[in-house]
Amino acid sequence: MVTWKAKCSTCCLLSYRSDRNETRKVNCSERMMWKYSPDSDPALRIYPVNLGDEGSYICEVVSSEGNFDFFSSLSVTVPPTVTLTCDKSRAAVCQAAAGKPAADISWIPASNHSTEEEVHHLDGTVTRVSHIDWVNSTLPTITCPVTHPTANQTLSLSCKE
């Protein structure tokens, strides 16, 4: 017998009993299924994965050799939506919205006069916004490199009138 379950009382329970060739699915979304056939490979497949799937999972295997528990932890990474704009006061505004984990924002040319805000959303994602004053700059463009585990992005913009 093989059973997959999430570490919570009301979460998904996916089980297979080989002596009866019987499968059960309790509180599981349609996205949670056996990766292959549970009698040959009892791997769990979650597709497409979403933030709500994050957490700990246990695979319990019961056989004539004994009972075995395998623990797995699922962490979901979300790429941010990156934008670079100029506000009314001609400050450059670089935003990395709804990423998980939070993205890192820097500026080229580098400046000690940038400010950064961070908003934590209920779904676990984070939006970072960085502002840099561009009014007195003699350079034609500002560049905003954004670093994130899913991908790095670099945006450039002119904030001149």
Query: What is the residue extent of each domain of the chain?
Result: 2-74, 81-157
Fold of 81-157: Immunoglobulin-like (2.60.40)
Q: How far apart are CA 78 and CA 121, in angstroms?
A: 13
With a cut of 80, say whether residue 137 has pLDDT above it. Answer: no
81-157 shares the fold of 2-74: yes
pLDDT (mean) for 22-26: 91
Residue 16 to residues 70, 71, 85, 142, 147, Cα–Cα distance (Å): 16, 18, 54, 58, 43
Q: Are strands 2-6 and 104-105 parallel, antiparallel or unpaired?
A: unpaired
Looking at domain 2-74, its CATH superfamily turns out to be Immunoglobulins (2.60.40.10)
pTM, two decimal places: 0.79
**Which residue has better confidence, 40 or 58?**
58
Q: What is the largest CA-CA distance in the chain?
A: 77
